[in-house]
Structure 1
Amino acid sequence: MKPEETIDFHIRWAWHGIARMYNLEASKYDSSMAVGQTLLSIDIKEGTPSTKLGPKMGMEPRSLTRMLKSMEERGLIYRKVDKTDKRMVRIYLTKAGAKHRDISRDTVIRFNLALQEKLSPTKLKGFFKTIKQINELLNNQNLLNGKSKSNSKK
């Protein structure tokens, strides 16, 4: 099987293109896609427990720790012990962090609107249906070992 005949090749190829585009846009603000994603994952009013950010973003704890430290040094976030559970540390946005979050949010919206203008509703619906099914298969089955809960195609 040639690489361009595989499903994961096209997913990776598209994702690398998206990441390049987001990083190019973020570089205009001396930032990165990862910082933008982190800012978008932090609750504006309530803050977000630091332990919830990693799983929410699919990041390893060490990478997230380094990123949060860098973001704190840049004045984008601050940490505060939770009022009710003193063992928990919440991450909050500073004014600068909120401003960068708005820029990240607008960039994501602009990208999605641009795609929606170029792709028909039918194609988008088919894409979402397919990508959700791929994620379900990855989450619920051991595809590489042939073990699955259901071997039927949908």
Structure 2
Amino acid sequence: MKDKTIDYILRATWQAISRMYNEEAAKYGATMATGFALLSIDKEKGIPSTALGPKMGMEATSLTRTLKTMEEKGLIIKKKNPEDGRGVLIYLTEFGKEKRELSKNTVIQFNDTIKKHVSEEKWENFIEVAETINKLIQDKEIFNSSENVAKNNAMNSKNKS
């Protein structure tokens, strides 16, 4: 994997993880998105529907479809938000709480297995690299930094010659 780019490695790894979680979830008639939603909804307080999408990094249309399926399966219930009549709060049902525990245990098993095969130092390095990537992206330092803008301007000028 030495010649592969960071984004290729991350994408290929995420696709493998996603496929693994979906295969596991399918055994219980669910999907990875359902499991992730179950884990993102507070067991006791629920969550406003408008906060769930951003928390999961999911688009509204995909989230709507996932929530509809979850409601049909009896995993969640929706209630009007008493503080904002236009909003909806999403709560786990007892069945949803059971499935949430199953999802939680699946994620813990995955993490524990990885940690058994990776040294503590490598694990900490992995976390540090991931956090650095996230920070550089959040701070818009990849494509918008003055250094990169200058480099791109120089390349564009050279290409026009």
What TM-score comes out, normalization by structure 2 length? 0.86
Aligned match of 1:70: 69
How many angstroms apart in 2 are the aligned matches of 1:142 and 1:61?
28
Distance in 2 between the 1:33 and 1:102 partners? 14
Identify if the C-alpha distance between structure 1 residues 50 and 121 changes in structure 2 by more than 3 Å, giving closer, same or farther.
same
- Specify the structure having the higher radius of gyration (Cα): 2
Matched, 1:113 2:115: no
Report deviation, 1:85: 2.8
Residue 60 (structure 2) pairs with residue 61 (structure 1) = yes
- Kindly state the Cα deviation for residue 86 of structure 1 after the two structures are TM-superposed: 2.4
1:4-55: CA deviation from partner (whole Å, max 9, x where unpaired)? 5211111011111111111111011010101000110001101100000000
> Shift of the alpha carbon at 1:147?
2.0
SS class of match (2:85)? coil
Amino acid at match of 1:126: N
Query: Post-superposition shift, 1:3?
Result: 10
The structure-2 alpha-carbon separation of the partners of 1:61 and 1:121, relative to structure 1 and needing over 3 Å to count, comes to same
In the alignment, the residues of structure 1 paired with residue 70 and residue 92 of structure 2 have an alpha-carbon distance, to the nearest angstrom, of: 10
Which residue does the alignment assign to 1:43?
42
Q: Give the drift of 1:63.
A: 1.0
SS in 2 for 1:92: strand
Tell me how large the CA RMSD over aligned residues is.
Answer: 1.9
Task: Tell which deviates more after alignment, 134-143 or 106-115.
Answer: 134-143
Letter of the aligned partner of 1:147 in structure 2?
N
Number of residue equivalences: 148
List structure 1 runs of 4+ shifted beyond 4 angstroms. Answer: none
Alignment counterpart, residue 145 of structure 2, candidates 144, 148, 151: 148
Identical pairs, percent: 47
1:124, 1:22 → 2: CA distance?
Answer: 21
Q: Which moved more, 1:94-103 or 1:134-143?
A: 134-143
Secondary structure in 2 aligned to 1:31? coil
User: TM (normalized to structure 1)?
Assistant: 0.89
Query: In 2, are the aligned partners of 1:3 and 1:9 still within 8 Å (CA)?
Result: no
Contact 1:47 1:93 in 2 (8 A): yes
Aligned residues of 1:140 and 1:148 also touching (Cα < 8 A): no
Q: CA separation in 1, counterparts of 2:2 and 2:58? A: 27
Residue 93 (1) aligns with residue 92 (2): yes
Looking at structure 2, the residues matched to 21 and 80 of structure 1 have their Cα atoms a distance apart, in angstroms, of: 33
